[in-house]
Amino acid sequence: KIHTLNNGKHVIMSCNILKKEGFNAVARFALIHVLHAILNTRTMPKTWEEKIFYYADRRVNPEGIVSIKDRFNYLRQQYGTKDKKIMKMINEAEPKVKRLEKEIFSKIKIKPEEINKLNAAEQNGKRLLQNTWR
């Protein structure tokens, strides 16, 4: 990701990397996973697969899985303080992402905050297994 961000071609390079690694079925999602995609009716995620892929990217920081609130705070600190246009985009995208989150979780039996708990439980389980086999 760092390499693709540094040269300004994150979307295209991400798509090409996925194709090269044999993930052709999901490579097209890389084209619509950027934050500003949700702000344009032409590029916003429309299918369930696109929505979930887009949403999943909004839930991840370098530290791991985070809430939408934490992710947007991270985006503001990391990118928004450098450019007013980017800050405006971040602020416009956040309520749309929250609506997308509500839409997704209206169809499943868990709540958004439970994703963090599931991830923590999985990580604890992995640590337990690692400690058992040492």
What pLDDT was estimated at residue 2?
Answer: 60
Average pLDDT across the chain, whole number: 84
pLDDT for 124 beyond 60: no
What pLDDT was estimated at residue 77?
Answer: 92
pLDDT for 28 beyond 60: yes
Whole-model pTM over 0.85 = no
Give the 3-state secondary structure of residue 61. strand
What pLDDT was estimated at residue 60?
Answer: 87
- The alpha-helical segments, DSSP class H, found in 1-134 are 2-6, 10-20, 24-30, 48-58, 68-78, 84-105, 112-132
Read off φ and ψ for residue 40, nearest 5 degrees: -125, 125
Rounded to whole angstroms, the Cα distance separating 106 from 36 reads: 24
- Please answer whether residues 115 and 65 qualify as being in contact, where contact means their C-beta atoms are separated by less than 8 angstroms: yes
pLDDT digits (tens, 9 = 90+) for 55-81: 999 998 888 889 999 999 999 998 888
pLDDT for 97 beyond 90: yes
What pLDDT was estimated at residue 91?
Answer: 96
> What is the number of alpha carbons within 13 Å of residue 104 lying toward its C-beta?
22
Per-residue DSSP letter, 109: S
What pLDDT was estimated at residue 13?
Answer: 84
